A and B are shown apart, each in its own frame.
Chain A
Amino acid sequence: MGFLQPVFLWGLIGVSVPVIIHLFSRKRAPAYFFSTIKFLKLTHKKTIRRQKIEEFIVLFLRIILIICLSLALAEPVNKRALFSERNSWVILILDDTCSMSAGTSEIPWKNLQKSCEQILSSVKKETYVSAIFNSGKIIPFSKIHEKIAQEIRTSQPTFMGNTMQSAINQASSMLEKKQGYKRIFIITDLQKSTWDNLNTESIQKTKTELIIVDVGEDTRENITIKDFYPVAGKNRYICEIINWTKKEIAAEIKFSSDGYEVIKPVLLQGSKKNEIEINLEKDCQQGKIELLYPDVLKTDNSFYIQKEPSGQKKVLIVGTEDPSVFYAQSSVVSSDMISADIKKINEITDVYPKNYRTMIMVNPQRIEIPIRQKIYNYILNGGTLIYFAGERIAPEDFNSDWFLTKENMCIMPSKIVKKANFSKQAQIAYIATGHPLFSEFGDRIFDYLKTTRFNSCFSTKDITGDILIKLDNGYPILIEKKLGRGRIFLFTFSPEQTWTNFQRKPFFPVMINLMIEYLSGSTSTASTGSTIVINGSETSKSVSLTNPEGKIKIIKNENNKPVGYVPDIPGIWVAEFSNENGAQKQIVAVNIPYTEGDPSKISKNEIREIFKKIHLNFIPKNNTEKILSAESSGKDLMILLLWISLFLLLAELILSNVFVFIREKGIKNGHG
């Protein structure tokens, strides 16, 4: 705090005047010898206390009045804000995420640019200024503020949805060893997702003042596509759409692929994720789904999909060396299009839908928790688990220790009670012929399975999935459950001779292959701003990367490690390279993170919670210039002080008269 007219601070000496009057007025009062003061004492005792309080109040008002008046006339200023001292460091953190382009009337990015100009014009020449964009771009410290302003003027918001984390870390490292006054302006639309899971430890140590400049819109309405993926059934897809508003919205979705288009009207319920089923008439490898609704993000409100390239599917068979695995393996490899890896349960280290679309578990041993978690995530992300129960599965283990330890890890469609040995061999009595797996066979399927017999299977309880096959004695032998983007098929028997002859029937490998075929059609999508690894590129010397706009970039690979890239615009990205297997191509559909469409803003209190120890200030929307100029000139404070002075003056006049009035009235009434 400083003063433009410090000479007026001498006025503070004036504080002593009422104090002196207060302290010495009585001593200077004429001494009068009176016959006795005992009657005065009686009178005075009643009034002296109140009189003293009243005198003190009036004295206090007078002192404050003089202080306020002196300070107001001295024109207070925030010297730090003026940056008049050397060694002042200012960093502008610019939120250039996709949401900054959102807006129905005014784009936050324009407000950001304006605010930056205003901040830069308020900063003194000697101050070092730097700018850090959320997307990663950095303008280093410089005293040439105009150059920084020019760069900000010409920059645009990205299609990414980064959090503040990298920018804050960068700012912390830039300020860490700097001495002097440090200030960071975060200019942002305050979109909630930008602030998720921030680690602010680094910035807490820099002793920096943080100013959050709000440039976002207060309210806006939006709906966004979260995901688009195929589900079991021929060319069936689910489109997940989030309606961020609270009201029901009618819109249309349009799927297009190589001239083929499907438009479907949809009614989207408010504040929730809506799952819309779409049936395409043809198998599309690649496509774009659009939401025909004005998108506040100012993009084309579309979502790109890319199905896995057709070709050989890879299956992971997990189990020990026993006959059941043999049957599973033999049923899988009977197809030329499918290859299988066999691993023991403890050998599962990397299991992702991209590596193995399907995992077949046959009579597995106990599975440790970290591996369970991997399998769980694998299914959530679109992987499929075909699970054959067997002798090794202890029902207790299966039910309580394996999948039911945590509710969210309960991936099985039912609980297993115990192995049931049938006194009379059982036959298949029910098949869900309407299910996509079996629909193409029609009723002929019963002919294929009429000689199939079962000696035993597990009895089940608490079934949460759909029963696909049931025996004539009522025991279900195939149950299906959807989990995330993946599925689980539970066979309640082991493909061994002692249990059944099903695995030896010609329909068995057909059924397994159909399962794998249907379940391997998941789409592969990625988000702008996240790293995409080009699988198989480790042995390639260079990768040719083509972005959705058709621009080609050659990435050299000198480390013999898989090449990665960070897509910055949505659309289809194509990476081409060649390795020992010949020419390879990885096509990825890249979309803007759906959270960017979320219009909800973070509150001041939530921000305070994030930056616990940091000195925070907030500049509301369109107030940057006003607040900064007021801060530097202190005019607002001066006006406030003058108002206070006026108020105190009036209060002093009124109170002193009121006190005298009350006192006289009270004494006249004999209350003392």
Chain B
Amino acid sequence: MNKPSRIIDPAILTKFGNLSFIAKTVVEGFISGLHHSIHKGSSVEFAEHREYVRGDDPRYLDWKLYGRTDRLYVREFREETNLKAYIILDISNSMNYTSQPQFITKFRYAQCLAVCLGYLMMKQNDATGLVVFDSDVKKFIKPSSTKAHFHFLVDNLENIRPGKDTNIGEILHKIANHIRRRSLIILISDLFDEQDSAMRGLTHFKYKHHEIIVFHVIDRGEMEFPFDGFRDFVDMETDERISVDATTIRAAYQKIFKEFLSFYQKGCSELGINYARAITQTPFDYFLYQFLEMRSQTK
């Protein structure tokens, strides 16, 4: 895997291209020669012959080759990668936030991330599905690995708009119950919900032997709280309002937010879930490259 040679600002990229174009630009830029799927599939394909040694399972002896060569060989197989993956996208209204008008919203970033992942997996013949939710599941598209299906996914992603408030914990349970076959679950969310409940939802997937990747989408403004003076902050999901002196509470806010991030990072690590924090100001290709590199190292 090559390091991306050019890094394109997500804001610029999203300004000029549709999702298909973004996916192509981002993924093609760094995955040429990519041999490994991001998913470890369960089906197998023939790889090579090996001379039989005692103890090998006689079921895998290639009798035809024995007939031709009069020597015993066993057939060896390798894992197939084009298996099922579900991209679960949080479209709650909190995702529609950006701290700077020149940056893209978390929602847009998540959209792009989803389509890039979809493109990446289509390239590897992995079947990709899509689940969109806010306070409830809004869309459920079953996985498929065809090109046409990828375009169908892109169309759907293009047309979704941020919804209401969120209820991640409950939704994850719901989805987990729905997906019966072992799959790759990719959750893209800001996880602004009751933390323990969300964590229980993720645990449910793990219980069902799914592999899970969490892309925690965060705006830098949410982390740094770069505001000053008295302001009325209005919750984008609930419209609740609070007046605070931003200057005076900044340090305390940062501390609490850091604890929030650590909670998910630590929680995911304990469950064996891949956790990646996606700061919306980070270019997609750079982020994906880093993620895949990290993943290849841990594989």
Contact = CB atoms under 8 A, between A and B. Distances in A.
The answer to whether A binds B is: yes
Contact of B230 (A26, A35, A42, A670): A26
Contacts of A218: none
A146 to B, nearest CB: 68
B242 interface: yes
Contact of B243 (A26, A34, A660): A26
Interface string A24-58: 01110111111111111111101100010000000
B97 A34 contact: yes
A44 B235 contact: no
A459 B249 CA distance: 103
B252 A36 contact: no
Interface in A1-45: 25-27, 29-44
A39 B236 contact: no
A32 B243 contact: no
A663 interface: yes
B248 A667 contact: yes
Contacts of A25: 230
A45 to B, nearest CB: 10
B255 interface: yes
A664 B233 contact: no
B251 A668 contact: yes
Given A35-B190, A667-B252, A40 B236 contact: no
B192 interface: yes
Interface residues of B, number: 35
A670 B255 contact: yes
| Of listed A25, A46, A667, residue having the most chain B CB within 10 A | A667
A672 interface: yes
B233 A40 contact: yes
A29 B256 contact: no
B222 A35 contact: yes
Contacts of A31: 231-234, 241
A25 B219 CA distance: 29
Contacts of B219: 35
B232 A47 contact: no
Contacts of B256: 39, 42-43
Contacts of A34: 97, 233-236
Interface residues of A, number: 29
Given A43-B252, A664-B248, A29 B232 contact: yes
B123 interface: no
A668 B219 CA distance: 23
Contact of A40 (B95, B237, B253, B260): B253
A668 B255 CA distance: 9
A41 B106 contact: no
B42 to A, nearest CB: 38
A38 B192 contact: yes
Interface string B214-250: 0000010010000101111111110011111101111
Nearest to A664: B248
Contacts of A30: 231-232
Interface string B20-64: 000000000000000000000000000000000000000000000
A25 B231 CA distance: 10
B82 interface: no
A32 B235 contact: no
Contacts of A37: 233-235, 240-242
Interface in A649-672: 660, 663-664, 667-668, 670, 672
Contacts of A51: 245
Contacts of A44: 242, 244, 249
| Of listed A30, A32, A39, residue having the most chain B CB within 10 A | A39
Contacts of A36: 94, 192, 235-237
Given A29-B231, A34-B236, A36-B94, A46 B252 contact: yes
15 contacts: A29-B243, A31-B234, A32-B227, A34-B234, A35-B97, A35-B190, A36-B94, A37-B242, A40-B253, A42-B256, A43-B249, A51-B245, A663-B248, A667-B248, A667-B249
Interface of A: 25-27, 29-44, 46-47, 51, 660, 663-664, 667-668, 670, 672
Given A30-B231, A51-B245, A672-B252, 6 more contacts: A31-B241, A33-B233, A35-B192, A39-B256, A40-B244, A40-B249
